[in-house]
Structure 1
């Protein structure tokens, strides 16, 4: 399967780097089989199988057994919380970056600081400092970046040009992008949507992207008080409302993505996680480009999406084995494979800067570089504290949908949204 998806040169390079990086394998008293949980099988199935295969080739005393993958991050979180009750936690899990606090505050997850220090530290291991920081909670490192995403514009350059617009010089404000989408739609005729914003991304991620791009925050510094009840938050809600008023349909994620690769959406705002799949599915049917997500304030930031690898094993020997696997999948060789299979951004700088790993890949695949270019403006993907964290995500999603479907205005939604979220938030201690 891998030979069908990746060039043979990439396979040889990754294989050589893999052997060099893991020529010395720590000895274990007996064979350990790691129990591993991941999400989004359509994106990660083949990749995860290949990662496990390459890992066990140089770690013969550590086997990897995957659980049936779950659909998304919220489903994985619910599964892990159930596993805590039954005592059947996975040894390693790939979770949404925004869920680290959800687990750690419940006594789940092992800090990996000691393992990192024993292997020379984050710098020697090659992690981007900005992205590694995303795995910290309350002063300790619990997760390492596996597949990081940023919001971008997916652009059908052929449809844009047909409307007399320049795909290399698209507007940088949402009202102008809406207008451009309407112009494209008129030019293309029936069956084409000019502009679509993938509002229902997991964890309210693209709502958060609007808030932070305006210089706002979802939570205050205390971590348990909403901060989006301000001008930046209201602007974000009004922007979503404007998408609905423009006539934007309400697609699901899969429907929107399939519509884009079929050539019936001109500008799609989505996660970079789909870039590699879009490239493959589009082929030569039209000219596909990615464009950076517009920042709407000088201090604007973007929440880093995607997932981290976490150790949930409790036994010391299993933790050591789990760390070896986490270190590999988030290391240079593992991240090279991850990028070639997906559109996610790697968390390992060594992989990006090495010409024989990803350096040449980015030179030849400009649609993947947009995410790397947004690295300086990345910030936290807000995690809601307390036992109602997943419920809060669902509540925000429901309010958001009422905006893009035109059922309510931003002025109507703001007070009810703040009230509903506050009612589910824990009280700050002290």
Structure 2
């Protein structure tokens, strides 16, 4: 059972004296006077459509709540957690932060995030959450309380270049459905066009974990079972071995793991398994250059796929009641029907309110014009939670796992042995 403790920080911040958490005063029902809150956001630090869409949302929020001033702190996604930690130590308490699900356990137990159930009345909270997909809401809960409100959200989707499919003699109207199909298509694209056949965004140190876990879980594996690491076991290891076999066959390209999206955007990659959040950017890059399409993630034969979640949740750290109310109003707006219309149509994240998908007032017309996006919506019915690691060493454990996955897929040794060595070493860091 997790409990809220005195704030602690990892690594270089460990041992810093921090103030204990205080009991909340009652949050006011409305914002009655000028309030300024800080919003740490990583979409604003990007050069993609995410920054422009977020600025648009915040401008609309200001029109609706002129008394609330939102001071934004734009930090890249791979740095934002450290920035939040450092600012808490420096007594610069964030009010709202966009953080990823992989940090949920640490944020709730050690970093001092507020559970929404401790801030908001049950009636008001239920009123806002009604209509949001339960699978998304569950991902932000620890011990039954909502610490992270699902915000920008996606599953792995198979982007493919229909022009390269045609050049390779493949039918772009019948995209790969299984990993065997991907292997065959990848080899055909490489041999007949000279372009890279396939690559999954499953190896990046910060953003690859969810794609990797989706592949593993689609084969029936898991990266951990309670506090026991299992990423080198049975089905999990076999999934990685499948990727290695595709590298050996030539279907799986050897690209820089930090920039495969650039290869896809340039039209030089046939298939790319990655977050739907890049759809807006890929669509813009492909315009008048190549036919970009989307399909559900591939399956291991007849096994059902297990798409995991990427993206972020919104966390409230405010202890001041007036700032809490202003922060909650920001959360409500950013997860409203109006906001998800912008988030989906202009960035590519999933709308966590599915009643807007076919509503002409919201996403109805956009979905008609972008029918391929339904492939991502369909995956919500069998969504699996991306598994986070517990304990203060969770980031190091994750890094050791991902380093071993890259070695297993691209190295020259036994892939299962690479995973087993890392699993044994990482287990010593588990609580």
Bin the TM-score by the shorter chain.
0.7 to 0.9
Query: 2:392 — aligned with what?
Result: 387
TM-score normalised to structure 1 length: 0.86
Query: 2:185 — aligned with what?
Result: 180
Q: Aligned pair 1:76/2:85, yes or no? A: no
Query: 1:66 — aligned with what?
Result: 72
Counterpart Cα distance in 1 of 2:422 and 2:415: 10
Query: 1:298 — aligned with what?
Result: 303
Q: Aligned pair 1:119/2:116, yes or no? A: no
Query: 2:15 — aligned with what?
Result: none
Q: Aligned pair 1:110/2:114, yes or no? A: yes
Q: What's the offset of the Cα at 1:369?
A: 1.7
**Runs of at least 5 residues in structure 2 that lack an aligned partner in the other structure:** 1-27
Structure 1 residues 263, 203: closer, same or farther in 2, change over 3 A?
closer
Structure 1 residues 76, 252: closer, same or farther in 2, change over 3 A?
farther
Q: What's the offset of the Cα at 1:124?
A: 5.9
Structure 1 residues 348, 116: closer, same or farther in 2, change over 3 A?
farther
Q: What's the offset of the Cα at 1:203?
A: 5.4
Q: Aligned pair 1:138/2:146, yes or no? A: no
Q: What's the offset of the Cα at 1:353?
A: 4.4
Structure 1 residues 117, 203: closer, same or farther in 2, change over 3 A?
farther
Question: When you count helix as a share of all residues, which structure comes out higher?
Answer: 1
Query: 2:407 — aligned with what?
Result: 402
- Give the counterpart of 1:354 among 355, 359, 371: 359
Q: Would the aligned equivalents of 1:260 and 1:266 in 2 still touch at CA under 8 Å?
A: yes
Query: 1:236 — aligned with what?
Result: 239
Q: What's the offset of the Cα at 1:338?
A: 0.8
Q: Aligned pair 1:51/2:57, yes or no? A: yes
Q: Aligned pair 1:37/2:43, yes or no? A: no
Structure 1 residues 252, 147: closer, same or farther in 2, change over 3 A?
farther
Q: Superposition RMSD on alpha carbons, in Å?
A: 2.1
Counterpart Cα distance in 2 of 1:278 and 1:353: 23
Query: 2:290 — aligned with what?
Result: 286
TM-score normalised to structure 2 length: 0.86
**Runs of at least 5 residues in structure 1 that lack an aligned partner in the other structure:** 1-24
Superposed, 1:210-249 pairs within 5 Å as: 210-220=215-225, 222=226, 224-247=227-250, 248-249=252-253
Counterpart Cα distance in 1 of 2:405 and 2:303: 25
Equivalent residues, number: 396
Structure 1 residues 175, 39: closer, same or farther in 2, change over 3 A?
same
Structure 1 residues 253, 36: closer, same or farther in 2, change over 3 A?
farther
Query: 1:374 — aligned with what?
Result: 379
Query: 2:338 — aligned with what?
Result: 333
Structure 1 residues 325, 303: closer, same or farther in 2, change over 3 A?
same
Counterpart Cα distance in 2 of 1:225 and 1:277: 39
Counterpart Cα distance in 2 of 1:420 and 1:39: 32
Q: Would the aligned equivalents of 1:238 and 1:409 in 2 still touch at CA under 8 Å?
A: no
Q: Would the aligned equivalents of 1:154 and 1:267 in 2 still touch at CA under 8 Å?
A: yes
Query: 1:365 — aligned with what?
Result: 370
Q: Would the aligned equivalents of 1:245 and 1:406 in 2 still touch at CA under 8 Å?
A: no
Counterpart Cα distance in 2 of 1:70 and 1:408: 38
Counterpart Cα distance in 2 of 1:244 and 1:116: 53
Q: Would the aligned equivalents of 1:261 and 1:278 in 2 still touch at CA under 8 Å?
A: yes
**Post-superposition CA distance 1:105-154 (Å, at most 9, x none):** 10421111252734261676421111111111111011122111111111
- Give the counterpart of 2:197 among 169, 174, 194: 194
